[in-house]
Structure 1
Amino acid sequence: MRLLKKVKYIAILLVLSSGLTLAVDSSVLENTSNLPEALMVIPFFLLLLMIATGPLFYRHFWEHHYPKIAILLGSITVIYYLFFLKDTHSLLHTLAEYISFIALLSSLFVASGGILIKIDRKSTPLLNSIILFIGAILANIIGTTGASMLLIRPFIKINKNRIKAYHIIFFIFIVSNIGGALTPIGDPPLFLGFLRGIDFFWFSIHIWYIWLPAILLLLAIFFFIDAKNIFINNKESYFTGKFELKGTKNLLYLLVILISVFIDPNIFSWVPNLSPLPFGVREIIMFTVVYLSYKNADKNILMANEFDFEPIKEVAYLFAGIFATMIPALQLIAYEAKILGDKLNPGSFYWATGILSALLDNAPTYLNFLSAELGKYGLNVNLKSDVQLFQHLYPVYLQSISIAAVFFGAMTYIGNGPNFMVKSISERAGIEMPSFFGYMVKYSIPILLPVFLLIWYVLYA
């Protein structure tokens, strides 16, 4: 009976969906007349459906017209908020988050494109597993996006004679998502928690003993699959075993991007707030890095990396539509989370946060359920002292949503920012990637879901 109640609550949350912006203004939640009609989630689901089916059933049309489709569907939501709800605040808030999102991804994409990593070794399951493990550690230092953009091209090149879709899928699983669960730098939802008052090393202390077994288990599965597919055609090739790193000056650009993440008025009071502009000093620095790193990049390195702007262009257009169309869904899920928060336990929060992070995006899902968890105990997510008290008194609740938000982001291509970009880079390298549903049916559901079930059973059942 208790399980049926959990399913009921989670089902309500799933139907209402989630979004890619940050916290919803509390005034919107208090005044239900400001809530959008449930029908306004249709543009989002339509866009999601077209992202899933377009490359599979009408590829030529989709490749030529996806920017128009994304902007058109996004415009429906924008017009609704402007002329029917007369809510410009939500639109400006979403625009600011979109600019921040694109600034981070584009700066990391361009800066890493000027770095050439060559590993002249034979592709083996052991070498691939080591690279993935290094990527998981690196994700906590330069973020999942930074680690993904830095390692995906050399990973593809090492396996060029036997590259398969599963190589890229496990890269997304481990480097682009689960790897970054130990620090606020690792993944956006954890950074949002850090901005709200969670201690920087709280995640490392409370998640490492779940992170490590999960990573090792996925690496073991990958090693087994890779060992079965070792019939490669480079057995006679000669390898020097050399490791070569070119474009090291771009490492400084990566460092600048990493530092700029913390240049935020919420962290340092001396940082100027550029409001009402929909961007801040951080975004100005990141876009400056985009310009300088590309202008000063070694053209031979760019050529060797087969660098072009198409992957970031695709992400920019599609996520512009996603950010806009998700606004109604985000507000509805935030409202329901507030209502149902006192009825949910850590296991329920784990699945609700995880499933929504998988289908949509993990950052806003995390913040909304963090707010619901604090509300359950009469605490306010907007008060740093309340958040710090909560992390000490109820760590199992905070742990459940932190694990779920980061781990479940690997369940779909749009669950986390770098997923879609890694897919795009891989496809431009000639790798045939599975469709949106193919990714889930063939890989994430049979491989990741049992791991996530095991985590739930051990920790929260």
Structure 2
Amino acid sequence: MNPARARIALTRLAGLKCAGPCAALLAALPGTARAGEIDGSTLSLLWGVPFAGILLSIALLPLLAPHFWHHHFGKVAAAWALAFLLPFAARFGPGVAGAGLVHVLLAEYLPFVLLLTALFTVAGGIHIRGNLHGSPGVNTAILAIGALLASFMGTTGASMLMIRPLIRANDDRQHVAHVVVFFIFIVSNAGGSLTPLGDPPLFLGFLKGVDFFWTAGHIFPETLFLVGALLLIFFALDSWYYHRREELLPRDPTPDNRAIGFDGKANFVLLGAVVALVLLSGMWKSPVSFNIAGTDVGLPGAVRDVGLILVTLASLRITPGQVHEDNRFGWAPMQEVAMLFAGIFLTITPVIAMLRAGAEGPFAAVIAAVTRPDGAPDPAMYFWATGILSSFLDNAPTYLVFFNTAGGDAAALMTRLAPTLAAISAGAVFMGANTYIGNAPNLMVKAIAEDRGVKMPGFFGYMLWAYCVLLPLFGVMTFIWFR
């Protein structure tokens, strides 16, 4: 990858105008303030039509019009974004719409795209050389290692680091889609459940006062059960495929006799810098902020973002070209995710506002469903309500909605209401795997796999996998832990 061309692509990414899952996380960091808030109690459900439209477009157009979708998905996302923004400006005024757009860009999108691009670039600068043989045992070991890494380097970082060697290890097999699907289940979601570094919702809880190791102490059994069960199911399924007569190709497409090792090791240091920058911005309290068109950008957030830009450029500068070539590093997956989540996160704005309105808003029935007749919170309903909405809306803001619905007091939620907070945390993290859009790494992994010739299931096909594999496990977890 030519560094100059890479910087041009990075500039194009930064020119987009919305956000994805990490955006909600970083928008909540100290030094950013909400601008252009909407009173969700005054909104009609019709304001959710553009959001439903972009979801249906992602689900159906790749099946019904694949050529059109491949070349114009960015335009489709922009069209649905305008379908929300223009009527919103007409109804509430250009000033309110403009303030909301500026807030999305400065407080949400830029932090999101810079963090995601930094992780994507740094992970893309690390090449695991050598060609592992994609046997069921090796594949299961890779998924287990990825799950462990996810809680310490984030689901995005672990996914970007591990997906390429996993695909390369299996490129001499006929059936690979199931390997990537379980990778999304385990590495891109479930594995990030033990620390605030693992997944955006947990970092939001950390910023709200939840202790760093609280989640590990309270949903470790659930995580162990889910990851362990998924690894066992995967091993059985992969073994069945592996022993079919036509499974192995006559020749390995990418033979590599080098010893297993790492190229681009300096990027591990940069990965640590990314983690440090995000943690610093969450713990550093500073009264200094800059007001831009009604949006406050705090000094910690500004330092973080500048630092992420420097990390990204440093990775592009120090990574040997051969490493990028070996990884087949390119910007297409990052661009696809950025464009699609741009539309999603803009059109999701009124939906989140309606949820925040609680019992006074259009989704009052959802809020009422998580409360028992005696007024006590129902952990099982919190688990499923948080999880189902996280599957389609975005797990970070959904976590915040139900965190506040449960009272919003971290001290009470960590003690007296610990089962409720555990249910919210588990639902947000685990059920982000239910759809491609539940968590940003899901779509990135899908894009990388398809770029390398893996025929991935469509939107509904993937949901069928999740329905058959994940939902029964979630049902068992509900019976054991969230009753």
User: Shorter-chain TM-score: which interval?
Assistant: 0.7 to 0.9
**How do 1:209-224 residues align onto structure 2 when only pairs under 5 Å count?**
209-224=221-236
The match for 2:391 among 328, 352, 358 is 358
Contact 2:190 2:429 in 1 (8 A): yes
Q: What is the alpha-carbon root mean square deviation over aligned residues?
A: 2.5
Contact 2:150 2:187 in 1 (8 A): yes
Contact 1:189 1:367 in 2 (8 A): yes
Match of 2:460 in 1: 437
Match of 2:43 in 1: 36
The unaligned stretches of length 5 or more in structure 2 are: 1-19
Which whole-Å CA distance do the structure 2 matches of 1:26 and 1:457 have between them?
41
Which whole-Å CA distance do the structure 2 matches of 1:454 and 1:300 have between them?
47
Compared CA separation, residues 32 and 252, structure 1 to 2 (3 A): closer
Are 2:267 and 1:250 aligned? yes
Which whole-Å CA distance do the structure 2 matches of 1:134 and 1:32 have between them?
43
**How do 1:126-275 residues align onto structure 2 when only pairs under 5 Å count?**
126-162=137-173, 163-231=175-243, 232-233=247-248, 242-264=259-281, 266-270=282-286, 272-275=288-291
Which whole-Å CA distance do the structure 1 matches of 2:40 and 2:193 have between them?
35
Contact 1:180 1:186 in 2 (8 A): yes
Which whole-Å CA distance do the structure 1 matches of 2:234 and 2:308 have between them?
35
Displacement of 1:337: 6.0
Displacement of 1:76: 2.7
Which whole-Å CA distance do the structure 1 matches of 2:416 and 2:74 have between them?
47
The match for 1:426 among 449, 461, 466 is 449
Contact 1:350 1:400 in 2 (8 A): yes
Amino acid aligned to 2:271: L
Contact 1:261 1:282 in 2 (8 A): yes
Which whole-Å CA distance do the structure 2 matches of 1:348 and 1:208 have between them?
20
In the superposition, the TM-score normalised over structure 2's length comes to 0.83
Compared CA separation, residues 337 and 192, structure 1 to 2 (3 A): farther
Which whole-Å CA distance do the structure 1 matches of 2:144 and 2:126 have between them?
20
Contact 2:51 2:347 in 1 (8 A): yes
Contact 1:119 1:158 in 2 (8 A): no
Amino acid aligned to 1:388: A
Which whole-Å CA distance do the structure 2 matches of 1:83 and 1:145 have between them?
38
Which whole-Å CA distance do the structure 2 matches of 1:152 and 1:106 have between them?
16
Match of 1:349 in 2: 382
Which whole-Å CA distance do the structure 2 matches of 1:54 and 1:272 have between them?
46
Contact 1:173 1:410 in 2 (8 A): yes
Compared CA separation, residues 72 and 180, structure 1 to 2 (3 A): same
Compared CA separation, residues 388 and 243, structure 1 to 2 (3 A): same
Displacement of 1:118: 2.2
Quick check: 167-176 or 48-57, which moved more? 48-57
Which whole-Å CA distance do the structure 2 matches of 1:25 and 1:36 have between them?
19
Contact 2:121 2:312 in 1 (8 A): yes
The match for 1:330 among 338, 341, 352 is 352
SS in 1 for 2:128: strand
SS in 1 for 2:92: coil
Which whole-Å CA distance do the structure 2 matches of 1:300 and 1:390 have between them?
50
SS in 2 for 1:66: helix
Are 2:308 and 1:286 aligned? yes
Which whole-Å CA distance do the structure 1 matches of 2:359 and 2:36 have between them?
15
Which whole-Å CA distance do the structure 1 matches of 2:58 and 2:222 have between them?
33
SS in 2 for 1:263: helix
Amino acid aligned to 1:133: A
Amino acid aligned to 1:154: P
The match for 1:387 among 404, 407, 410 is 410
The match for 2:422 among 399, 402, 413 is 399
Which whole-Å CA distance do the structure 1 matches of 2:250 and 2:135 have between them?
11
Percent pairwise identity: 39
Displacement of 1:100: 1.9
Displacement of 1:98: 2.1
Amino acid aligned to 1:191: F
Displacement of 1:362: 0.5
Compared CA separation, residues 250 and 281, structure 1 to 2 (3 A): same
Matched pairs, number: 430
Which whole-Å CA distance do the structure 1 matches of 2:130 and 2:74 have between them?
37
| Alignment deviations for residues 255-283 of structure 1 (CA, whole Å, 9 cap, x no partner) | 1111111232x521248534436662222
Quick check: 311-320 or 115-124, which moved more? 115-124
